[in-house]
Amino acid sequence: MAKLFFISAKADTFNYSVNPILPKSLNDKGYFDYSVHTDQKIKFWFEINNNSDKTIVVKSSLNNGISDDNGRINYSFNHSKGLLKSDTPRLSSMILGDKEKFDRIKPHASKKNFFIIKTPQKNFNGDVLGGINNSIVENVNQPIHGAVKNLVNYSTTILLRHDDKISDINKLKLKDIRVKNNVIDIQMMNNQSKIFYGYKCLVKLMKDNKTVASEKTDKYSLVPNSFGHYKMNLFNVHSGKYNVRILVYNHKNKKIFNRDIYVKNSYQFLSTNKKNNDNKYLIILISIVMVTFFILVLFIIRYLKIFGG
């Protein structure tokens, strides 16, 4: 099985590191990858190392995997954004005990901790994907559970599966494409209980069979039974009708999606609004001047009648 490159950020930038404590069989993978059965308890151990001269507080959480806006899988959040209803359970539903833990670690010291889950009693098919997310907390002088601001994340994948079957590219669907504020927002859906990974994605904005803009990622992934956004910024693109061409591929398979869209340049849109507003204010001003002039004429006529006999 190919490696899953889902680690979002390495935390040694802030003089601390987090490492999963793995069985020898998983050392080459670098993440938790288990074939599971029903009613099974599993502990996920990790070690936090403080390499700095100051005491740190690290928040650790066990989260579901979600598909982010860049075609990657993220474990930094504890919500279910973008997850579809499925008979396959989510990792969050298996947690025993706390789903968040806080560790205060002295300078040049380390500490081990773990999360524990229990698989359902009922058999399920497909992949369960989540991860341990660790983040250093900014203010260590606050009470541990009152510390709120995270600086940098370190995430480790947890994959629970029943088989080594790979995902089916035909289960990948184009859900929607929207254009707003010079950004193309592509919604793709992985309509299967397997991780969609190991693919590249090339997006092209076409006009008259010519490429106007393009963007590519070499690591395109989607969580099982989920939809994710893939966003592309538009620069120097004129208003008009275009075709979006999406190629998802690897060395064995490929699938192409096409959708016509209309791009309305936001700067032109703002300029049009400004022009319309200027015209509206001009009409109001002319109306006020005309009404004032009419009232003045009536006053003069009345004045002449009274004093002119």
The CATH fold assigned to 11-161 is Immunoglobulin-like (2.60.40)
Q: Where are the domains of the chain?
A: 11-161, 169-263, 267-309
Residue 289 pLDDT grade (very low, low, confident, very high; cuts 50, 70, 90): confident
Q: Evaluate the CA torsion angle 94, 96, 97, 103 in order and state its sign.
A: negative
Q: What is the pLDDT of residues 205-232, one digit of tens each?
A: 999 999 999 999 998 999 999 988 898 8
Distances (CA, A) of 40 to 94, 119, 134, 240: 10, 5, 25, 57
Q: pTM score, two decimals?
A: 0.73
pLDDT average, residue stretch 176-201: 91
pLDDT > 80? residue 267 = no
Token readout for 136 is: 């250093």
Note whether 11-161 and 169-263 share their fold. Answer: yes
Burial class (CB in 10 A: 0-12, 13-18, 19+), 306: exposed
Token readout for 113 is: 């901790």
Q: Has domain 169-263 been given CATH number 3.30.390.50?
A: no
pLDDT > 50? residue 10 = no
